[in-house]
Homo-oligomer: A and B are copies of this chain.
Amino acid sequence: MELHLITDGCQSAERTADILRLIEPDIDMLHIREKHLSAAELYEFMFTVSERGCCSPSKLAVNDRVDAALLFGAGTVQLTSNSLPLQLVKRTFPKLRCGASVHSLQEARAAEQAGANYVLYGHIYDSVSKPGLPPRGLSSLEELCRAVSIPVIALGGIQPRHVRGIRRAGASGIAVMSGIWKADDPAEAAKEYRRMLIT
């Protein structure tokens, strides 16, 4: 199973890179999700994170900005309902991997039909990023995993102890934010997630 780490918009590029350098072997993809940055700042952020964090651009997934992903040589772009139409992105840039952020089975099916390489689905558990919104839970994850044939990455409030249930539900990986960035020891947290993912 894959471990995706999503930047939370609260760390500087330098701190992001410094943590990343410690955990890079343990994570499969780093999502750059810094909505408050201009395109120029985003490019700088990616450059610092990749260089100082010793992380290959191919391991980066850029949120929303297809152009930043292409210019930087990032492997993946992560598209949401606020992004350019996934089908057109795939048609225009067939080599670029496209992840789709989805919140329902219908959206997941539509994303698969449009050519998404995987979906990010959540939130599964209570999440500090989604206060007050009821989590979607394991059974909806299981239903969604059965409904599509592309990989499903589960997101939202996931702790290492949840990994076994998520695997049983059929997900191909998990995506984490605060579980690593807000951990007392991010490197240890990443290793703990990794241990649960491979056992």
Contact = CB atoms under 8 A, between A and B. Distances in A.
Interface of A: 38-41, 43, 64-68, 70-71, 81-85, 88-89, 92
A36 to B, nearest CB: 12
B43 A71 contact: no
Tell me the dominant secondary structure on chain A's binding face: helix
22 contacts: A38-B83, A39-B64, A39-B82, A39-B83, A39-B84, A40-B81, A40-B82, A40-B83, A40-B84, A40-B85, A43-B85, A65-B67, A66-B67, A66-B71, A67-B67, A67-B70, A67-B89, A68-B84, A71-B84, A71-B85, A71-B89, A71-B92
A84 to B, nearest CB: 5
Contacts of A39: 64, 82-84
The 10 closest A-B pairs by CB, nearest first: A66-B67, A38-B82, A67-B67, A39-B84, A39-B83, A71-B88, A40-B82, A71-B92, A71-B84, A43-B84
A108 B123 CA distance: 47
A66 to B, nearest CB: 4
Contact of A67 (B40, B81, B84): B84
Nearest to A91: B71
Nearest to A73: B92
Given A39-B64, A43-B84, A66-B67, 7 more contacts: A38-B82, A40-B81, A40-B82, A40-B84, A41-B82, A71-B84, A71-B88
